[in-house]
Amino acid sequence: MKRIKQIYHCIDANKTWYFILMVTNLLFIFLAWLAYPETFKVLVGLMIVFTLALIVISVLIMMRKQKIIEAAFQDFLLEANETNEEILCRVSPKTYWSYIHRMGSTIRAFQSELNDQVVELADYEAYIEGWVHEIKKPLSLLTLVLDNRSDEMSPLVRQRMLHVRDQIHGDVERILYFARLGATHKDYIFESIHLLDFCKQIIEDHQTLLDESGFQIQFIGEEVEVLSDRKGLAFILAQIIANSTKHIAQNQACPTLSFEMGYDKERNQTILNIRDNGPGVPKEDLPFIFDKGFTGNGGSVTRQATGMGLFLVSKMAVDLAIQLEVESEPGSGLTLSLIFPNVKH
């Protein structure tokens, strides 16, 4: 089938010349009929056989040449250096040489620019990761001071300092995860996790952030077990918590964040619904809340939102095979559902 297509494409590419050949044959057939009526049939037969043989031979030659050109062109695309460019010109018609040279110089220019960008990106990632590890040193020192010198500061000052420390720590984690998004190797370790206990542990880790915003935490449902990566899932929950604390309504008396464990029998999947009672998200903004840099026009009363938290959540969820669903109405809060894959043990 492939060979038939090649023959068809070869004939179609040279149909003009074959048409001229046919017209020429018809002319000679007419002249043979006028000049040699006695041997007309013999001459016509010879001309038809000769024409068919000529077409077959020309098609075979062109197919062989086309195969050589395709091989040279494939090598040229894989590595558009001057050697492969010269080989391609050697097997191609001279009318294409100028185009090949122009294409080669353009590809080499783009390749050089791409190589420079790859090097710059690698240096940038190395710098970011190095900076993250360096910034963790003063954060650790700050934690040490807050733990050992708490009696030298008022409870309010200590709470504010813990809040600032946790905010910085969250920003550092976002930078680190963003820098690692394009990494080819990701060290995920999937293991069995008791989801309710895990959520309570994450809340304890971010208690100062929630206390500063005055959040009350609710846990609904019974313990369920899921299979996931602890660090990745912790990052997702931390970003959702941070997002809720950044988007609270003005003068909101009692902000609440609830974690509801559930199981969908129809889909045979475990679902974690994380719900807040904040200002909510307008319907027109819902399809875009996981886009990078999107902050929306409604709901946020602060300028802290960067649009990166939920974007990173969506990327991490893809890596962990967690499906995200979101529901919201202006004034009624936001519900973000984490649907865990059904893994058969």
Task: Print pLDDT tens along the chain (345 aa).
Answer: 677 777 777 777 777 887 887 888 888 878 878 777 777 788 788 888 888 888 888 878 888 888 888 899 899 988 889 899 999 898 888 888 999 999 999 999 999 999 998 888 888 878 887 887 788 778 888 878 877 787 778 888 877 888 788 888 878 888 877 777 766 567 788 999 999 999 999 999 888 888 877 889 999 999 999 999 999 999 999 999 988 888 776 556 788 999 999 888 777 889 999 999 888 888 888 888 888 877 765 444 444 556 688 888 999 999 899 999 999 888 788 999 999 987 765
CB 324 within 8 A of CB 337: yes
In a domain, 294, yes or no: yes
Residues 248 and 301 in one domain: yes
H/E element, 343: none
Q: List, in order, residues 6 or more apart from 237 with CB less than 8 Å away.
A: 198, 199, 202, 274
Q: List, in order, residues 6 or more apart from 78 with CB less than 8 Å away.
A: none
Report how far residue 112's alpha carbon sits from residue 327's, in angstroms, rounded to the nearest whole number: 46
Residue 81 sits at φ, ψ, to 5 deg, of -85, 175
Strand partners, 334: 328
In a domain, 345, yes or no: no
Residue 110 class from Cβ within 10 Å (0-12 exposed, 13-18 middle, 19+ buried)? exposed
In a domain, 288, yes or no: yes
- Residue 9's domain comprises 2-92
Residues 201 and 71 in one domain: no
In a domain, 111, yes or no: no
Residues 84 and 218 in one domain: no
Residues 63 and 135 in one domain: no
> Residue 173 is which amino acid?
E
**pTM > 0.75: yes or no:** no
